[in-house]
Structure 1
Amino acid sequence: MGESAMDKAKGKAKEMAGKATGNERMKSEGKVDQAKSKARDAVKDTRDKADGARDSLRDDDRR
């Protein structure tokens, strides 16, 4: 399980625990952990797309 997936699972667990206990701080921390996970995923997707575009341009230059 990657770091992003772990943050998402941890965040969901914190959010649910916060809801169950009425602890707003824990609930908020859970949402923050989930947002970090989404941001990490977005950065990885962008990096992968940029790498693909770069590789594609390199292939075109070699022809």
Structure 2
Amino acid sequence: MAEDKLEQVKGNIKETVGDATNNDNLEQEGKKDKASGKAKEVIDNVKDKASDVVDKFKK
């Protein structure tokens, strides 16, 4: 999960620097990294919740 947050931070930095320097490629890469990190984070959260539900039914 920490890797997902790190990817989001990295993306935010790239997006900010790309915007500040008018570098559209870097800005788009940053947006992609942020979205990818967020998607991975959501998937991990869903997996955790599903695991919790399964564990409750096993009891």
| TM-score band, normalised by shorter chain | over 0.9
Corresponding position: 1:16 with 2:31? no
Corresponding position: 1:58 with 2:58? yes
- SS of alignment partner, residue 35 of structure 2: helix
Task: Indicate the structure whose relative CO is greater, using CA pairs within 8 Å and at least 6 residues apart.
Answer: 2
**Structure whose CA Rg is larger:** 1
* Sequence identity (%): 36
| Contact 2:14/2:27, CA 8 A, preserved across alignment | yes
The equivalent residue for 1:49 is 49
Deviating 4+ runs (over 3 angstroms): none
The equivalent residue for 1:36 is 36
1:5 CA displacement: 1.1
Unaligned runs of 5+ in 1: none
Q: How many Å separate the matches in 2 of 1:42 and 1:32?
A: 15
CA RMSD of aligned residues (A): 1.2
Aligned residues: 59
